[in-house]
Amino acid sequence: MTTSTILITGGTGRTGRRVADRVAGHNPRITSRSGPTPFDWDDPDTWDAALDGCSAAYLCYSPDLALPGVDDIIKRFVSRAGALGVDRLVLLSGRGEDGARACEDIVLAATPTATVVRCSWFQENFSEHFLRGSVLAGRIAVPAGDVREPFVSLDDVADIAALALTSGGYDGQVLELTGPQSITFTEAADQLSRAIDRPISYESVDGETFVLEQVAAGVHPDEAGALAWLFDEVLDGRNVATTSTIEQVLGRPARSFADYARSAAAAGAWS
């Protein structure tokens, strides 16, 4: 067993597979609930086999780090990781979320060599997640009013997570990642519309309407409810400010929403 193995939790998901690609030379152990090394956040009996022989781990909690009770799971997990000698942890977190902040504090206190990658909303929510169907239908309806959000590119997030996993340069740090501009959902819809060359509107709806529409579109009711809770929790203007962390760490600008929309359209994300 090599000691350079890097555990990638959520390894088949949107961030995990991007991080795994970037650490391909470091023997990534890609885990999810299925696959050769099954790993389940809700089943501690699966944790040791996933952690065994790893020197570092990317922690991508699913469904969402901010949900109540997740801090207890994270506390038990980092304690087990420490006991098994996994001393570099990179935690994917969300901006402005109290529950996520509690998890961050646990990880940083238990593991001085940990790094927190604290992100604004992902641009790819519009192409790889719950808003893809809305974009295809030409109507984005979410409970967000006119709030602005500095949507961040998952490729930027993964570049930074991979760097933190493979270098000691960010030990003990919280890297707060945003895109380069804060935009409203109306502006996001306009930019998507230009990129796809199809009309896309934005309508602010209440949480109940959002859940009903998401469920009708095929989203699991629990996930739709959790998303509505997150909109209510964080999209109140607290996360409007941008950071320059991506440019400082990577030496190049963070990807803009317009760039993301153009390249996702060119790659066939909404074909």
Ligand X SMILES: NC(=O)c1ccc[n+]([C@@H]2O[C@H](COP(=O)([O-])OP(=O)(O)OC[C@H]3O[C@@H](n4cnc5c(N)ncnc54)[C@H](OP(=O)(O)O)[C@@H]3O)[C@@H](O)[C@H]2O)c1
Residues that bind ligand X (CB under 6 A): 10-16, 32-34, 39-42, 60-62, 64-66, 92, 94, 119, 121-122, 125
Q: Cβ 38 to ligand X, closest distance in Å?
A: 8
- In the complex with ligand X, the residue whose CB is nearer, 235 or 249, is 235
DSSP the chain: --TTEEEETTTTSHHHHHHHHHTGGG-EEE--SSSSS---TT-GGGHHHHHTTEEEEEE--SS-TTSTTHHHHHHHHHHHHHHTT--EEEEEEETT-HHHHHHHHHHHHH-TT-EEEEE--BGGGGTTSTTHHHHHHTEEEES-TT-EE--B-HHHHHHHHHHHHH-STTTT-EEEE--SS-EEHHHHHHHHHHHHTS--EEEE--HHHHHHHHHHTT--HHHHHHHHHHHHHH-SSTT-----HHHHHHSSPPPPHHHHHHHHHHTTTT-
Q: Cβ 124 to ligand X, closest distance in Å?
A: 8
Q: Cβ 197 to ligand X, closest distance in Å?
A: 25
- In the complex with ligand X, the residue whose CB is nearer, 152 or 249, is 152
Cβ-based neighbours of 125, under 8 Å, separated by 6 or more: 131, 151
- In the complex with ligand X, the residue whose CB is nearer, 56 or 60, is 60
- In the complex with ligand X, the residue whose CB is nearer, 56 or 103, is 103
Q: Cβ 67 to ligand X, closest distance in Å?
A: 8
Q: Cβ 228 to ligand X, closest distance in Å?
A: 14
Q: Cβ 214 to ligand X, closest distance in Å?
A: 14
- In the complex with ligand X, the residue whose CB is nearer, 2 or 34, is 34
CB-CB contact of 73 with 42 (8 Å): yes
Q: Cβ 160 to ligand X, closest distance in Å?
A: 13
- In the complex with ligand X, the residue whose CB is nearer, 3 or 103, is 103
- In the complex with ligand X, the residue whose CB is nearer, 64 or 171, is 64
Start-to-end C-alpha separation, the chain: 44
Cβ atoms within 10 A of the Cβ of 96, count?
17
